[in-house]
Amino acid sequence: MARKFFVGGNFKMNGSISSIKEIVGNLNNATLDPSVEVVVSPSYLHLLLVRENLRKEIEVASQNVYDKPNGAFTGEVSVSQLKDSGINWAILGHSERRTILRESDEVVALKTKYATDNGVSVIWCCGESLEEREAGKTIDVVSKQLAALKAQISDWSKIVIAYEPIWAIGTGKVATTEQAQEVHKAIREWLKANVSDKVADETRILYGGSVNEKNCGELSKQADIDGFLVGGASLKPAFVDIINCQKQ
Catalytically annotated residues: 94, 164
> What distance in Å separates the CA atoms of residue 8 and residue 42, rounded to the nearest whole number?
11
Q: Which residues contact 240 (CB under 8 A, 6 or more apart)?
A: 26, 27, 30, 32
CA-derived radius of gyration, the chain: 17
In what helix (H) or strand (E) does residue 56 lie, and over which residues does it extend? none
Cα separation, 210 vs 174, in Å, equals 6
- Separation in Å, CA 130 to CA 133, 134, 176, 207, 238: 5, 6, 14, 16, 28
How far is it, in rounded angstroms, from Cα 132 to Cα 42? 30
Return the sign of the alpha-carbon dihedral for residues 10, 15, 21, 23: negative
How does 38-71 read in b/e, with b if 16+ C-beta sit within 10 Å?
A: bbbbbbbebbebbbeebeeebbbbbbbbbbeeee
Cα separation of 168 and 212, whole Å? 12
